[in-house]
Amino acid sequence: MKDHVFYLKRTITLSELAVKHDNTPFGDLLADPDGNIILEQENIEITENDCTGHAETALMRKATKLYDKDFLWNCILYTSVEPCAMCSGAIYWRNVGKIVYGISEKELLKLTGNNKQNPTLDLPCRKIFEHGQKEIEVEGPITEITEITEDILEIHRKYWLE
């Protein structure tokens, strides 16, 4: 299994692809228990005109069709930004056992402010999961890897502030 940096860098690339495809800068991937990337997803909300087109929710829709819940429990979802409440629910219901994210939703909110395109709920995914019946492991924000944090923040600064 590669380290978190490898996977989070790929989520940044997926975020950049989302912007290139006229969507907001979010990307994620699913790694199997051996560390193989088995699914990738960029945000599709704008181009698909789908309010549920967040990268994590779209990835969970794909995972539902391909993998059973027992298998997914041993997978890791890597995402550039902490999953929102909707995405956390999709992750919970699909039964992914671990999440690693780069920056927090609270940090994203500092950048987006009251932007109508991103009305952040400021509800940490850990809060959502602690009200469930599964012990989903959450690692993040991964701020000790400053290169990753800065790269994620940079793509969001460019998108939301320029």
Catalytic residues: 56
Q: How far apart are CA 27 and CA 58, in angstroms?
A: 10
Beta-strand pair 137-139/98-103: parallel
Q: How far apart are CA 147 and CA 152, in angstroms?
A: 9
The answer to whether 27 and 19 are in contact (CB under 8 A) is no
Beta-strand pair 37-42/76-81: unpaired
